[in-house]
């Protein structure tokens, strides 16, 4: 699960940078930023719900 979240964060970061670099595609930077923050928040929420000291399968 953590690996998937890290890959999504990397993909959203690439989208954000690509949107910022390419002129006239400002909306792509906005979408990438929103998706990056959403994925990071989801990962933080998912990891905080697991009790400390108990390892999952």
Question: Does any domain span residue 39?
Answer: yes
Residue count (the chain): 57
Tell me the two tokens of residue 42: 């989801």
Question: Does any domain span residue 56?
Answer: no
pLDDT at 3: 86
Question: Does any domain span residue 21?
Answer: yes
For residue range 4-14, what is the model confidence (pLDDT) as tens digits? 888 988 988 88
Question: Does any domain span residue 52?
Answer: no
Contact status, residue 29 vs residue 20, Cβ threshold 8 Å: yes
Domain with 23, as residue range(s), is 2-46
Question: Does any domain span residue 54?
Answer: no
Question: Does any domain span residue 51?
Answer: no
**Into how many domains does the chain fold?**
1
Check: pTM over 0.85? Answer yes or no: no
For residue range 16-56, what is the model confidence (pLDDT) as tens digits? 888 777 766 777 778 888 988 999 888 888 877 655 655 65
């Amino acid at each position: 699960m953590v690996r998937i979240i890290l890959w999504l964060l990397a993909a959203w970061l690439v989208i954000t940078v690509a949107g910022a670099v390419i002129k006239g595609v400002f909306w792509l930077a906005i979408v990438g930023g929103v998706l990056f923050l959403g994925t990071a928040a989801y990962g933080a929420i998912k990891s905080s719900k697991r009790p400390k000291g108990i390892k999952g399968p």
